[in-house]
Protein backbone atom coordinates (compact mmCIF):
# COMPACT_ATOMS: atom_id res chain seq x y z
CA UNK A 1 0.00 0.00 0.00
CA UNK A 2 1.43 3.38 -1.00
CA UNK A 3 2.17 5.88 1.76
CA UNK A 4 0.33 9.18 1.99
CA UNK A 5 2.63 11.86 0.58
CA UNK A 6 2.73 15.47 1.67
CA UNK A 7 1.25 17.95 -0.80
CA UNK A 8 3.90 18.92 -3.39
CA UNK A 9 3.81 22.60 -2.39
CA UNK A 10 3.57 22.09 1.38
CA UNK A 11 5.75 24.65 3.12
CA UNK A 12 5.58 27.12 0.22
CA UNK A 13 4.11 30.47 1.20
CA UNK A 14 2.51 32.57 -1.55
CA UNK A 15 1.59 36.24 -1.18
CA UNK A 16 -1.31 36.89 -3.54
CA UNK A 17 -1.83 40.54 -4.51
CA UNK A 18 -4.06 39.79 -7.50
CA UNK A 19 -7.71 40.50 -8.25
CA UNK A 20 -10.54 39.28 -10.49
CA UNK A 21 -9.58 36.19 -12.58
CA UNK A 22 -6.06 35.50 -13.96
CA UNK A 23 -4.05 35.87 -10.75
CA UNK A 24 -6.60 34.39 -8.32
CA UNK A 25 -7.05 31.34 -10.56
CA UNK A 26 -3.28 30.80 -10.68
CA UNK A 27 -2.78 31.14 -6.93
CA UNK A 28 -5.76 28.88 -6.28
CA UNK A 29 -4.01 26.12 -8.23
CA UNK A 30 -0.94 26.58 -6.03
CA UNK A 31 -3.19 26.41 -2.97
CA UNK A 32 -4.88 23.26 -4.25
CA UNK A 33 -1.50 21.54 -4.17
CA UNK A 34 -0.62 22.58 -0.64
CA UNK A 35 0.80 26.11 -0.78
CA UNK A 36 -0.12 28.54 2.02
CA UNK A 37 -1.70 31.32 -0.04
CA UNK A 38 -2.21 34.64 1.74
CA UNK A 39 -4.59 36.84 -0.22
CA UNK A 40 -3.75 40.48 0.47
CA UNK A 41 -6.77 42.71 -0.22
CA UNK A 42 -7.27 46.44 -0.09
CA UNK A 43 -9.79 47.62 2.52
CA UNK A 44 -12.65 48.28 2.79
CA UNK A 45 -14.05 46.23 -0.15
CA UNK A 46 -11.18 43.89 -1.07
CA UNK A 47 -10.87 42.13 -4.40
CA UNK A 48 -13.29 43.78 -6.89
CA UNK A 49 -14.19 40.25 -7.92
CA UNK A 50 -16.14 39.96 -4.68
CA UNK A 51 -18.81 42.16 -6.31
CA UNK A 52 -18.91 40.39 -9.69
CA UNK A 53 -22.01 38.58 -10.91
CA UNK A 54 -23.57 36.08 -10.47
CA UNK A 55 -24.18 36.31 -6.74
CA UNK A 56 -25.88 34.42 -3.91
CA UNK A 57 -27.19 36.72 -1.17
CA UNK A 58 -24.88 39.43 -2.50
CA UNK A 59 -21.79 37.20 -2.50
CA UNK A 60 -20.10 36.49 -5.84
CA UNK A 61 -20.05 32.82 -6.79
CA UNK A 62 -17.38 33.59 -9.42
CA UNK A 63 -15.12 34.93 -6.67
CA UNK A 64 -15.72 31.80 -4.62
CA UNK A 65 -14.80 29.60 -7.60
CA UNK A 66 -11.23 30.97 -7.81
CA UNK A 67 -10.27 31.77 -4.22
CA UNK A 68 -10.52 28.56 -2.23
CA UNK A 69 -7.57 27.29 -0.18
CA UNK A 70 -6.47 30.82 0.72
CA UNK A 71 -6.31 33.06 3.76
CA UNK A 72 -7.35 36.71 3.55
CA UNK A 73 -5.84 39.78 5.16
CA UNK A 74 -6.86 43.36 4.45
CA UNK A 75 -3.87 45.72 4.09
CA UNK A 76 -3.75 49.29 2.86
CA UNK A 77 -0.34 49.43 1.18
CA UNK A 78 -0.37 53.23 1.41
CA UNK A 79 -0.52 52.96 5.21
CA UNK A 80 2.89 52.74 6.93
CA UNK A 81 1.89 50.08 9.47
CA UNK A 82 0.16 47.89 6.89
CA UNK A 83 3.07 48.29 4.49
CA UNK A 84 5.45 47.17 7.24
CA UNK A 85 3.29 44.08 7.72
CA UNK A 86 3.45 43.47 3.99
CA UNK A 87 7.24 43.76 3.91
CA UNK A 88 7.55 41.27 6.77
CA UNK A 89 5.31 38.85 4.91
CA UNK A 90 7.47 39.23 1.80
CA UNK A 91 10.67 38.67 3.78
CA UNK A 92 9.48 35.18 4.72
CA UNK A 93 7.59 34.32 1.51
CA UNK A 94 8.58 31.94 -1.27
CA UNK A 95 6.37 33.45 -3.96
CA UNK A 96 4.67 36.79 -4.57
CA UNK A 97 2.09 37.18 -7.33
CA UNK A 98 0.89 40.62 -8.41
CA UNK A 99 -1.40 41.76 -11.20
CA UNK A 100 -1.00 45.53 -11.24
CA UNK A 101 -0.05 47.65 -14.24
CA UNK A 102 3.74 47.84 -14.71
CA UNK A 103 5.42 50.29 -12.37
CA UNK A 104 2.68 50.27 -9.72
CA UNK A 105 4.47 47.94 -7.32
CA UNK A 106 7.77 49.81 -7.69
CA UNK A 107 6.05 53.08 -6.78
CA UNK A 108 4.81 51.41 -3.60
CA UNK A 109 8.34 50.28 -2.75
CA UNK A 110 7.31 46.69 -3.45
CA UNK A 111 8.91 46.16 -6.86
CA UNK A 112 11.00 43.11 -7.67
CA UNK A 113 14.38 44.83 -7.27
CA UNK A 114 13.53 46.02 -3.76
CA UNK A 115 11.97 42.78 -2.54
CA UNK A 116 14.76 40.66 -4.08
CA UNK A 117 17.22 42.58 -1.89
CA UNK A 118 15.02 41.93 1.13
CA UNK A 119 14.48 38.26 0.23
CA UNK A 120 16.82 36.87 -2.48
CA UNK A 121 14.93 33.55 -2.55
CA UNK A 122 11.65 35.21 -3.53
CA UNK A 123 9.98 34.14 -6.77
CA UNK A 124 8.19 37.30 -7.90
CA UNK A 125 5.50 36.81 -10.56
CA UNK A 126 3.93 39.74 -12.41
CA UNK A 127 0.79 39.09 -14.47
CA UNK A 128 0.03 41.95 -16.84
CA UNK A 129 -1.23 42.73 -20.30
CA UNK A 130 1.82 43.52 -22.37
CA UNK A 131 4.90 42.81 -20.27
CA UNK A 132 6.80 44.55 -17.49
CA UNK A 133 9.91 45.35 -19.50
CA UNK A 134 10.37 48.06 -22.15
CA UNK A 135 10.82 47.65 -25.88
CA UNK A 136 7.30 48.62 -26.89
CA UNK A 137 5.32 51.82 -26.94
CA UNK A 138 2.40 49.80 -25.54
CA UNK A 139 3.71 48.75 -22.16
CA UNK A 140 0.74 49.33 -19.92
CA UNK A 141 -2.50 50.50 -21.60
CA UNK A 142 -5.70 49.33 -19.87
CA UNK A 143 -7.07 46.17 -21.49
CA UNK A 144 -8.97 42.97 -20.77
CA UNK A 145 -9.25 39.45 -22.14
CA UNK A 146 -11.14 40.52 -25.27
CA UNK A 147 -8.48 43.12 -26.13
CA UNK A 148 -5.62 40.64 -25.73
CA UNK A 149 -7.35 38.10 -27.99
CA UNK A 150 -8.08 40.82 -30.54
CA UNK A 151 -4.43 41.91 -30.68
CA UNK A 152 -3.29 38.29 -30.87
CA UNK A 153 -5.38 37.64 -33.99
CA UNK A 154 -7.76 35.26 -32.21
CA UNK A 155 -10.88 37.33 -32.99
CA UNK A 156 -10.29 38.00 -36.68
CA UNK A 157 -13.67 38.10 -38.51
CA UNK A 158 -14.72 35.12 -40.57
CA UNK A 159 -14.43 36.06 -44.28
CA UNK A 160 -17.83 34.56 -45.17
CA UNK A 161 -19.99 35.99 -42.37
CA UNK A 162 -17.89 39.09 -41.79
CA UNK A 163 -18.43 38.75 -38.05
CA UNK A 164 -16.14 38.13 -35.09
CA UNK A 165 -16.98 35.23 -32.82
CA UNK A 166 -16.61 36.10 -29.14
CA UNK A 167 -15.72 32.99 -27.12
CA UNK A 168 -17.58 32.37 -23.87
CA UNK A 169 -14.36 31.45 -22.07
CA UNK A 170 -11.63 33.95 -21.22
CA UNK A 171 -8.75 32.25 -22.99
CA UNK A 172 -6.23 35.07 -22.65
CA UNK A 173 -6.90 35.42 -18.94
CA UNK A 174 -6.83 31.71 -18.17
CA UNK A 175 -4.55 30.07 -20.76
CA UNK A 176 -2.15 32.93 -21.44
CA UNK A 177 -2.35 34.41 -17.93
CA UNK A 178 -3.15 31.91 -15.20
CA UNK A 179 -1.56 28.80 -16.69
CA UNK A 180 1.63 30.54 -17.78
CA UNK A 181 1.90 32.06 -14.30
CA UNK A 182 1.67 28.64 -12.64
CA UNK A 183 4.19 27.17 -15.08
CA UNK A 184 6.60 30.07 -14.61
CA UNK A 185 6.35 29.98 -10.81
CA UNK A 186 6.94 26.23 -10.65
CA UNK A 187 9.92 26.49 -13.03
CA UNK A 188 11.41 29.29 -10.91
CA UNK A 189 10.92 27.29 -7.71
CA UNK A 190 12.60 24.31 -9.35
CA UNK A 191 15.52 26.49 -10.48
CA UNK A 192 15.80 27.87 -6.95
CA UNK A 193 16.47 24.39 -5.62
CA UNK A 194 19.78 24.43 -7.46
CA UNK A 195 20.72 28.11 -7.20
CA UNK A 196 19.13 29.15 -3.92
CA UNK A 197 17.99 32.35 -5.62
CA UNK A 198 14.56 33.41 -6.82
CA UNK A 199 13.78 35.42 -9.94
CA UNK A 200 11.20 37.62 -11.67
CA UNK A 201 8.54 35.74 -13.66
CA UNK A 202 6.94 38.15 -16.14
CA UNK A 203 3.65 36.82 -17.55
CA UNK A 204 2.17 39.01 -20.30
CA UNK A 205 -1.25 37.98 -21.55
CA UNK A 206 -1.21 39.47 -25.04
CA UNK A 207 2.08 37.75 -26.02
CA UNK A 208 0.81 34.62 -24.27
CA UNK A 209 -2.35 34.67 -26.37
CA UNK A 210 -0.28 35.28 -29.51
CA UNK A 211 1.84 32.22 -28.67
CA UNK A 212 -1.34 30.13 -29.04
CA UNK A 213 -1.31 30.90 -32.78
CA UNK A 214 0.67 27.76 -33.62
CA UNK A 215 -1.52 26.89 -36.62
CA UNK A 216 -1.22 30.35 -38.17
CA UNK A 217 2.55 30.37 -37.74
CA UNK A 218 2.79 26.96 -39.40
CA UNK A 219 1.25 28.46 -42.57
CA UNK A 220 3.57 31.46 -42.46
CA UNK A 221 6.62 29.23 -41.98
CA UNK A 222 5.55 27.31 -45.07
CA UNK A 223 5.57 30.56 -47.05
CA UNK A 224 1.77 30.68 -47.22
CA UNK A 225 -0.66 33.30 -45.91
CA UNK A 226 -2.48 32.34 -42.74
CA UNK A 227 -6.07 32.31 -44.04
CA UNK A 228 -8.63 33.54 -41.52
CA UNK A 229 -11.52 31.10 -41.39
CA UNK A 230 -9.81 28.75 -43.82
CA UNK A 231 -7.13 27.08 -41.75
CA UNK A 232 -7.07 23.38 -41.19
CA UNK A 233 -8.90 23.56 -37.87
CA UNK A 234 -11.45 26.26 -38.69
CA UNK A 235 -13.76 24.39 -41.01
CA UNK A 236 -11.58 24.14 -44.08
CA UNK A 237 -12.09 20.39 -44.51
CA UNK A 238 -15.11 18.05 -44.26
CA UNK A 239 -13.35 15.96 -41.59
CA UNK A 240 -13.10 18.87 -39.13
CA UNK A 241 -16.51 20.49 -39.02
CA UNK A 242 -19.65 21.00 -36.96
CA UNK A 243 -22.90 19.64 -38.43
CA UNK A 244 -26.51 20.44 -37.46
CA UNK A 245 -28.83 17.59 -36.48
CA UNK A 246 -32.57 17.01 -36.92
CA UNK A 247 -33.36 18.63 -33.54
CA UNK A 248 -31.26 21.73 -34.26
CA UNK A 249 -28.40 20.51 -32.11
CA UNK A 250 -24.89 19.91 -33.44
CA UNK A 251 -22.33 17.13 -33.79
CA UNK A 252 -18.62 17.95 -33.87
CA UNK A 253 -16.49 15.90 -36.26
CA UNK A 254 -12.73 15.89 -35.62
CA UNK A 255 -11.72 12.87 -37.71
CA UNK A 256 -8.32 14.03 -38.95
CA UNK A 257 -6.85 10.50 -39.12
CA UNK A 258 -7.80 8.39 -42.16
CA UNK A 259 -9.00 5.42 -40.11
CA UNK A 260 -11.35 7.52 -37.98
CA UNK A 261 -12.71 9.30 -41.05
CA UNK A 262 -13.32 5.99 -42.79
CA UNK A 263 -15.13 4.63 -39.75
CA UNK A 264 -17.34 7.73 -39.66
CA UNK A 265 -18.21 7.57 -43.35
CA UNK A 266 -19.09 3.90 -43.09
CA UNK A 267 -21.30 4.41 -40.02
CA UNK A 268 -23.00 7.35 -41.73
CA UNK A 269 -23.49 5.13 -44.78
CA UNK A 270 -21.65 7.52 -47.08
CA UNK A 271 -18.58 5.43 -48.02
CA UNK A 272 -18.21 7.45 -51.23
CA UNK A 273 -16.86 10.31 -49.09
CA UNK A 274 -13.91 8.37 -47.70
CA UNK A 275 -11.56 9.81 -50.33
CA UNK A 276 -12.93 13.33 -49.72
CA UNK A 277 -11.47 13.73 -46.22
CA UNK A 278 -9.36 16.76 -47.12
CA UNK A 279 -11.24 17.87 -50.22
CA UNK A 280 -11.25 21.61 -50.91
CA UNK A 281 -13.04 23.94 -53.27
CA UNK A 282 -16.15 22.62 -54.98
CA UNK A 283 -15.40 19.03 -53.98
CA UNK A 284 -14.99 20.02 -50.35
CA UNK A 285 -18.22 22.00 -50.35
CA UNK A 286 -20.04 19.05 -51.89
CA UNK A 287 -18.67 16.68 -49.22
CA UNK A 288 -19.67 19.05 -46.42
CA UNK A 289 -23.15 19.39 -47.93
CA UNK A 290 -23.51 15.60 -48.16
CA UNK A 291 -22.50 15.15 -44.53
CA UNK A 292 -24.77 17.98 -43.44
CA UNK A 293 -27.69 16.32 -45.20
CA UNK A 294 -26.91 13.02 -43.50
CA UNK A 295 -26.59 14.49 -40.00
CA UNK A 296 -29.87 16.36 -40.46
CA UNK A 297 -31.81 13.09 -40.58
CA UNK A 298 -31.42 12.21 -36.88
CA UNK A 299 -31.33 13.94 -33.51
CA UNK A 300 -28.07 14.59 -31.70
CA UNK A 301 -28.96 11.97 -29.12
CA UNK A 302 -29.54 9.36 -31.84
CA UNK A 303 -26.25 10.19 -33.53
CA UNK A 304 -24.45 10.04 -30.21
CA UNK A 305 -25.78 6.55 -29.56
CA UNK A 306 -24.63 5.51 -33.03
CA UNK A 307 -21.24 7.20 -33.24
CA UNK A 308 -19.76 7.92 -29.84
CA UNK A 309 -17.39 5.16 -28.80
CA UNK A 310 -17.11 3.86 -32.36
CA UNK A 311 -13.65 5.22 -33.21
CA UNK A 312 -15.01 8.15 -35.20
CA UNK A 313 -13.91 11.29 -33.28
CA UNK A 314 -17.49 12.53 -33.33
CA UNK A 315 -19.15 14.06 -30.27
CA UNK A 316 -22.23 16.12 -29.46
CA UNK A 317 -21.88 19.87 -28.95
CA UNK A 318 -22.98 20.37 -25.35
CA UNK A 319 -24.14 23.47 -23.57
CA UNK A 320 -22.02 24.51 -20.56
CA UNK A 321 -24.73 23.20 -18.21
CA UNK A 322 -24.84 19.83 -20.00
CA UNK A 323 -21.06 19.54 -19.95
CA UNK A 324 -20.93 20.22 -16.22
CA UNK A 325 -23.70 17.71 -15.51
CA UNK A 326 -21.71 15.07 -17.39
CA UNK A 327 -18.48 15.92 -15.57
CA UNK A 328 -18.99 13.30 -12.86
CA UNK A 329 -18.72 10.45 -15.35
CA UNK A 330 -16.53 12.15 -17.97
CA UNK A 331 -13.88 13.36 -15.52
CA UNK A 332 -14.20 11.70 -12.10
CA UNK A 333 -12.82 13.88 -9.33
CA UNK A 334 -12.93 17.09 -11.35
CA UNK A 335 -16.23 18.38 -9.95
CA UNK A 336 -16.51 18.46 -6.16
CA UNK A 337 -19.12 19.83 -3.78
CA UNK A 338 -18.15 21.70 -0.62
CA UNK A 339 -19.76 24.21 1.69
CA UNK A 340 -18.90 27.89 1.41
CA UNK A 341 -18.22 30.11 4.42
CA UNK A 342 -21.99 30.39 5.01
CA UNK A 343 -22.65 26.65 4.88
CA UNK A 344 -24.14 26.62 1.38
CA UNK A 345 -23.25 23.71 -0.90
CA UNK A 346 -21.28 24.82 -3.95
CA UNK A 347 -19.85 22.79 -6.78
CA UNK A 348 -16.31 23.58 -7.88
CA UNK A 349 -13.75 22.30 -10.35
CA UNK A 350 -10.59 20.88 -8.88
CA UNK A 351 -7.41 20.82 -10.94
CA UNK A 352 -7.65 18.83 -14.16
CA UNK A 353 -4.00 17.88 -13.58
CA UNK A 354 -4.26 14.60 -11.67
CA UNK A 355 -1.32 13.46 -9.55
CA UNK A 356 -1.53 9.85 -8.35
CA UNK A 357 0.12 10.39 -4.94
CA UNK A 358 -0.37 14.12 -4.27
CA UNK A 359 -3.66 15.22 -5.85
CA UNK A 360 -5.28 18.63 -5.57
CA UNK A 361 -7.34 19.01 -2.41
CA UNK A 362 -10.18 21.35 -1.48
CA UNK A 363 -9.30 22.30 2.11
CA UNK A 364 -11.07 25.59 2.76
CA UNK A 365 -13.64 27.73 0.94
CA UNK A 366 -12.88 31.23 -0.34
CA UNK A 367 -12.38 33.37 2.77
CA UNK A 368 -14.34 36.43 3.74
CA UNK A 369 -12.42 39.70 3.50
CA UNK A 370 -9.78 39.86 6.28
CA UNK A 371 -11.09 36.60 7.75
CA UNK A 372 -7.54 35.58 8.67
CA UNK A 373 -6.15 39.03 9.37
CA UNK A 374 -5.61 38.50 13.11
CA UNK A 375 -3.83 35.18 12.76
CA UNK A 376 -1.60 36.44 9.94
CA UNK A 377 -0.67 39.56 11.91
CA UNK A 378 0.13 37.31 14.87
CA UNK A 379 2.43 35.27 12.63
CA UNK A 380 4.10 38.49 11.49
CA UNK A 381 4.69 39.55 15.11
CA UNK A 382 6.12 36.13 15.94
CA UNK A 383 8.41 36.42 12.91
CA UNK A 384 9.60 39.85 14.06
CA UNK A 385 10.40 38.51 17.52
CA UNK A 386 12.40 35.60 16.11
CA UNK A 387 14.66 37.81 13.96
CATH number of the domain to which 85 belongs: 3.40.50.10540
Give the pLDDT confidence score for residue 292 in this predicted structure: 97
Give the pLDDT confidence score for residue 138 in this predicted structure: 43
Range of the domain at 290: 240-325
How many structural domains are present in the chain?
Answer: 2
Q: Is residue 218 part of a domain?
A: no
* 49 & 172 share domain: yes
Give the pLDDT confidence of 144-178 residue by residue, as tens digits.
Answer: 999 999 999 888 887 777 788 888 899 999 999 99
Q: Which residue has the higher pLDDT, 162 or 41?
A: 41
The answer to whether the predicted template modeling score (pTM) of the entire model surpasses 0.85 is yes
The residues, ordered by sequence, that sit 6+ positions from 386 with a Cβ below 8 Å of its Cβ are none
Give the pLDDT confidence score for residue 135 in this predicted structure: 40
Q: Is residue 340 part of a domain?
A: no
Contact 112, 124 (CB under 8 A): yes
Nearest to 130 by CA among 192, 183, 207: 207
Average pLDDT, rounded, for the chain: 91
CA angle 10, 179, 128 (to 5 degrees): 110
Mean pLDDT in residue range 181-206: 97
Contact 156, 127 (CB under 8 A): no
Does 136 score more than 60 pLDDT?
no
* 300 & 152 share domain: no
Catalytic residues: 144, 173
* 146 & 278 share domain: no
* 191 & 140 share domain: yes
C-alpha 351/C-alpha 178 separation (Å) is 13
What is the CATH number for 309?
3.30.1540.10
Amino acid sequence: MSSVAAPPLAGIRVIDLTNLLPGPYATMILGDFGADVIKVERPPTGDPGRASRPTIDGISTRHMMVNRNKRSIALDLHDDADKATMLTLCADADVLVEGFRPGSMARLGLGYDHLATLNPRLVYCSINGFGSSGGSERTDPPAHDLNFMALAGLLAPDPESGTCQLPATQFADLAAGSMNAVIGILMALFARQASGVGQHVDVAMMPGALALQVEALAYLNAGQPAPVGGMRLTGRYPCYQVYKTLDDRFMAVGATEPEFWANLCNLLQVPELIDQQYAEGDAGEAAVAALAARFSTRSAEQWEMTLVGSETCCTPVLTPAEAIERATSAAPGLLVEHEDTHGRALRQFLSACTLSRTPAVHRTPAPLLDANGDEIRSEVRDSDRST
